[in-house]
């Protein structure tokens, strides 16, 4: 029995080691899985906060596998050693630090009023003659400064490929010109003239563009373009004579009441008869948007136009035209007006050739020397006095004529009044006569109408009498015809008479038909006696 007991125990004890091995295996697997997750969430996990990006660089296999390097100056493709192009955004990422170098990179923030100038560090060198890289961020094929700048905002830029310089408003002097770049603000009333520093892939050439920028905000790459901001519209330039003043600063006047000019001020020139002439001149001029590029190309700035063109040309044209005239011609009306018109027309032609618009070119005042002006003024005064006397004489004659005409008017008014009264009386008499004629005609017409009304009344009475007679006749004939028809209907006059008799009896009467033979009337009436009414004699009452 002992030998039989041991095999049974062996059979019972054999499953225990096998179960322990299974439990141990499961435990090991769970431990490995837990270790893997712990490794992933502690070692591999990296958190990218807001405002940053994750730059990855693959280090290659440690022991096994081929080490394939990325092309120089290029991003690494999957499986290549190098920097990856795509960067992870904010959040959790899982990359093993053994195989990957993980770097947090700040996002590029360009605040308002600034732009970002981008330099590409990857790609082929630029072709000969080109200085800027065309294309968008992340799509460039050459290294160098990008033509397009970044506007204000937030950008995720791979520092392995690009460098970004944040700049604000920039301006620098180029001779008399002020060039603007970066964040360029063109205010209202101004335009921007763009100077391209290099050509582009679209065929644009370097130089000043004809198209101007209207008022607004523009991001300008200082390596690609520069902007001249010039004012458009009209402005005023005056060259005036300075007047001599006293110790208190009040202007002084000569004997004729004209202000005394200070020598060598304003526009001065000699007349053709040797007198020194001074004058005031004002130009209302300006630059329109379509001519802004031409102005910058030829002169560089608005100030240069004023100093080199408008002012000098105004003085030159005034001097050239004024020196051909005498002092007297510059004083009297017609020749002076012609001089002013010629100056304005020539001045406008010269400015239009240079792209400058002229609104007015005004010769405001011409200062003539007193020794020339005084005799002419006195002569003019004498002429004016003579004209005044002649005008007074003419006024007196006109006044006398006026008085005579007034008397004629009064006489004509009286005549018209008398004639009017006569015509009024004539019209009233004629109206009275016509009224009486109308009244007589009216009475005559009334009599005719009354006669016609009487005749109509007589005819009415006759017609009414005839109508009554005819109606009476018709009624009698209708009654006779009625009796005739009734008699014919009853078969004779006796039957009709009986019918009338019966119709005349009262409805309460009781009629009985009694047959009586010859001589039997009284005997047959016995049966009806009780039905006849019996009149009884009244009885006396006893008191």
Of 338, 321, 361, the C-alpha closest to 238 is: 361
Per-residue pLDDT at 279 exceeds 80: yes
pLDDT of residue 65: 62
pLDDT of residue 519: 59
Contacts of 141 (CB under 8 A, 6+ apart): 123, 124, 133, 135
- Model confidence at 157, pLDDT cuts 50, 70, 90, reads confident
Beta carbons of 353 and 291 less than 8 angstroms apart: no
Mean pLDDT score, 155-171: 87
pLDDT of residue 84: 85
What's the per-residue H, E or C state across 88-151? ECCEEEECCCCCEEEEEEECEEECCCCEEEEEECCCECCCCCCCCECCCCCCCCECEEECCCEC
The predicted-structure confidence for 354-389, as pLDDT tens digits, reads as follows: 999 999 888 888 888 877 767 666 666 666 777 888
The predicted-structure confidence for 313-327, as pLDDT tens digits, reads as follows: 999 999 998 888 888
Per-residue pLDDT at 522 exceeds 70: no
Mean pLDDT score, 146-168: 87
* Lowest-confidence pick of 251-260, 312-321, 376-385, 497-506: 376-385
- Report the mean per-residue pLDDT for the chain: 81
The predicted-structure confidence for 324-355, as pLDDT tens digits, reads as follows: 888 888 877 788 888 889 999 999 999 999 99
Per-residue pLDDT at 397 exceeds 50: yes
The predicted-structure confidence for 408-448, as pLDDT tens digits, reads as follows: 888 888 889 888 888 898 888 888 888 888 888 888 888 88
Contacts of 439 (CB under 8 A, 6+ apart): none
Mean pLDDT score, 107-127: 86
pLDDT of residue 1: 43
pLDDT of residue 356: 93
- For the ranges 63-67, 206-210, 352-356, 455-459, the maximum mean pLDDT occurs at 352-356
- Exposure class string for 455-469: b at 16+ Cβ within 10 A, else e: eeeeeeeeeeeeeee
- Exposure class string for 289-300: b at 16+ Cβ within 10 A, else e: bebbbbbbeebb
pLDDT of residue 367: 86
Beta carbons of 98 and 62 less than 8 angstroms apart: yes
Mean pLDDT score, 467-474: 86
pLDDT of residue 345: 92
pLDDT of residue 63: 66
Q: Which residues of the chain does CATH 3.30.479.30 include?
A: 233-368
* CA 131/CA 115 separation, integer angstroms: 20
Q: For residue 194, what are the β-bridge partners?
A: 227
- Model confidence at 14, pLDDT cuts 50, 70, 90, reads low
pLDDT of residue 192: 92
- Model confidence at 285, pLDDT cuts 50, 70, 90, reads very high
**Angle CA 386–390–396, to nearest 5:** 145
Mean pLDDT score, 480-490: 78
Per-residue pLDDT at 516 exceeds 70: no
Per-residue pLDDT at 8 exceeds 50: no
| Residues shown for the chain | 543
In CATH terms, the superfamily for domain 233-368 is Band 7 domain (3.30.479.30)
The predicted-structure confidence for 302-313, as pLDDT tens digits, reads as follows: 888 999 999 999
Mean pLDDT score, 131-143: 81
More confident residue, 459 or 496: 459
- Model confidence at 173, pLDDT cuts 50, 70, 90, reads confident
Q: What are phi and psi of 63, to 5 degrees?
A: -115, -45
Mean pLDDT score, 35-60: 82
CA count, 13 A, side-chain hemisphere, 362:
12
* Lowest-confidence pick of 367-371, 458-462, 495-499, 508-512: 508-512
- Model confidence at 237, pLDDT cuts 50, 70, 90, reads very high
């Amino acid at each position: 029995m002992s030998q039989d007991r041991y095999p049974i125990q062996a059979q019972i004890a054999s499953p225990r080691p096998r179960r322990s091995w299974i439990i141990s295996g499961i435990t090991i697997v769970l431990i490995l899985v837990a270790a893997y997750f712990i490794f992933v969430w502690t070692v591999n996990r990296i958190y990218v906060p807001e405002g940053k990006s994750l730059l990855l660089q693959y280090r290659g296999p440690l022991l096994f596998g081929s080490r394939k390097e990325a092309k120089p100056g290029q991003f690494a493709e999957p499986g290549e050693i190098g920097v990856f192009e795509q960067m992870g955004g904010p959040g959790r990422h899982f990359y093993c630090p053994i195989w990957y170098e993980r770097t947090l990179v700040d996002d590029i923030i360009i605040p308002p009023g600034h732009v970002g100038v981008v330099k590409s560090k990857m790609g082929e060198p630029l072709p000969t003659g080109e200085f800027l890289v065309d294309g968008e961020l992340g799509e460039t094929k050459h290294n160098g400064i990008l033509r397009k700048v970044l506007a204000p905002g937030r950008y995720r830029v791979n520092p392995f490929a690009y460098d970004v310089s944040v700049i604000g408003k920039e301006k620098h002097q180029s001779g008399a010109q002020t060039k603007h770049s970066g964040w360029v603000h063109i205010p209202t009333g101004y335009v921007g003239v763009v100077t391209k520093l290099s050509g582009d892939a679209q065929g644009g050439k370097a130089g000043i563009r004809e198209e101007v920028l209207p008022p607004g905000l523009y991001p300008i790459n200082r390596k690609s373009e520069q902007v001249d901001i010039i004012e458009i519209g009209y402005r005023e330039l005056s060259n005036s004579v300075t007047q001599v003043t006293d110790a208190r600063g009040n202007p002084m006047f000569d004997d004729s009441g004209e202000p005394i000019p200070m020598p060598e001020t304003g526009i001065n020139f000699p007349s053709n008869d040797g007198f020194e002439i001074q004058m005031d001149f004002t130009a209302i001029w300006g630059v329109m948007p379509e001519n802004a590029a031409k102005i910058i190309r030829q002169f560089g700035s608005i100030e240069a136009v004023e100093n080199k063109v408008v002012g000098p040309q105004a003085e030159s044209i005034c001097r050239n035209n004024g020196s051909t005239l005498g002092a007297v011609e510059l004083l009297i009306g017609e020749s002076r007006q012609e001089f002013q018109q010629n100056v304005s027309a020539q001045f406008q032609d010269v400015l239009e050739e240079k792209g400058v618009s002229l609104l007015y070119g005004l010769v405001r005042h011409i200062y003539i020397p007193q020794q020339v002006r005084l005799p002419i003024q006195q002569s003019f005064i004498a002429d004016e006095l003579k004209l005044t006397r002649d005008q007074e004489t003419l006024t007196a004659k006109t006044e006398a004529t006026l008085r005579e005409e007034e008397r004629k008017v009064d006489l004509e008014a009286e005549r018209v009044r008398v004639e009017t009264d006569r015509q009024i009386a004539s019209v009233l008499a004629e109206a009275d006569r016509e009224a009486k004629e109308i009244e007589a005609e009216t009475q005559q017409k009334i009599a005719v109408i009354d006669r016609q009304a009487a005749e109509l009344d007589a005819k009415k009475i006759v017609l009414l009498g005839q109508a009554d007679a005819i109606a009476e006749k018709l009624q009698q004939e209708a009654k006779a015809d009625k009796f005739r028809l009734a008699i014919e209907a009853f078969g004779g006059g006796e039957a009709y008479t009986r019918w009338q008799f019966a119709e005349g009896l009262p409805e309460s009467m009781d009629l009985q038909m009694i047959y009586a033979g010859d001589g039997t009337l009284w005997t047959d009436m016995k049966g009806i006696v009780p039905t006849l009414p019996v009149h009884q004699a009244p009885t006396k009452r006893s008191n």
